[in-house]
């Protein structure tokens, strides 16, 4: 018979997600996780098996909320260009939010030596970035197929460039964030790609 979970799993997972988001994978100690999740070590290992397994669950939770919202903005706009602008608007809103645990996206934070040195986490980081890139490529391809974007545009290359720029944006926001300047930069970037 399966053992009954003796704590509020969803609340504990949300607390752990925010802690990993704030401190990163290596910067988050098991002791801190147990404290914010309000569970004992026995319950932790019986339910979640280990820190890495919990981290992977927290990444999934982050993608299901934060990343999903951005991808919905991308998909629901009338055009790919407007969808990409809406995607970046959501990124800036996250950067503006004083309640965000970190200015760095959890997926972008995976691009760190401590995470990438572990093959399964490296694969997970690549998978997260590839998924966003694929959705961007799909949205650009849809508009191109409708004649709304020029045939000369390579959706796969454009999606790769946008994903790369996005990673740089997160890092630069840690150094010096000014929304107006970032909006100008995003506008120029998308104009250069022929999307504005």
Residue 2's pLDDT band, with cuts at 50, 70 and 90, is: very low
The residue among 193, 195, 171, 194 whose CA lies nearest residue 91 is 171
DSSP-assigned letter for residue 3 = P
Annotated domain spans of the chain? 61-192
Measured distance CA(13)–CA(55) in Å, rounded: 10
What is the token pair recorded at 30? 């098991």
Q: What is the pLDDT of residue 103?
A: 92
Q: What angle do CA 184, 188, 194 make, to 5 degrees?
A: 145
pLDDT digits over 40-82, tens only?
887 888 888 889 999 999 999 999 999 999 999 999 999 999 9
The domain made up of 61-192 has a fold known as Tetracycline Repressor; domain 2 (1.10.357)
What is the token pair recorded at 77? 């706009």
3-class DSSP state for residue 13? helix
3-class DSSP state for residue 192? helix
pLDDT digits over 27-42, tens only?
999 999 999 998 888 7
pLDDT at 4 over 60: no
């Amino acid at each position: 018979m399966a053992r009954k979970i003796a704590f509020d799993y969803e609340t504990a997972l949300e607390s752990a997600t925010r802690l990993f988001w704030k401190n990163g994978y290596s910067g988050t100690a098991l002791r801190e996780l147990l404290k914010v999740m309000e569970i004992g070590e026995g319950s932790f290992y019986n339910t979640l098996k280990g820190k890495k397994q919990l981290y992977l669950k927290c990444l999934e939770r982050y993608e299901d909320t934060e990343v999903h919202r951005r991808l919905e903005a991308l998909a629901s706009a009338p055009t790919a260009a407007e969808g990409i602008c809406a995607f970046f608007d959501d990124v800036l809103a996250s950067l503006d939010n004083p309640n965000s645990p970190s200015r760095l996206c959890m997926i972008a934070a995976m691009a760190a030596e401590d995470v990438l040195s572990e093959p399964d986490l490296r694969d997970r980081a690549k998978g997260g970035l590839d998924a966003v890139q694929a959705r961007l490529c799909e949205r650009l391809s849809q508009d191109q197929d409708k004649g709304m974007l020029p045939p000369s545009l390579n959706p796969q290359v454009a999606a790769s460039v946008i994903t790369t720029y996005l990673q740089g944006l997160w890092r630069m926001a840690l150094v010096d964030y000014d929304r107006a300047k970032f909006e100008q930069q995003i506008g120029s970037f998308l104009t250069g790609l022929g999307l504005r």
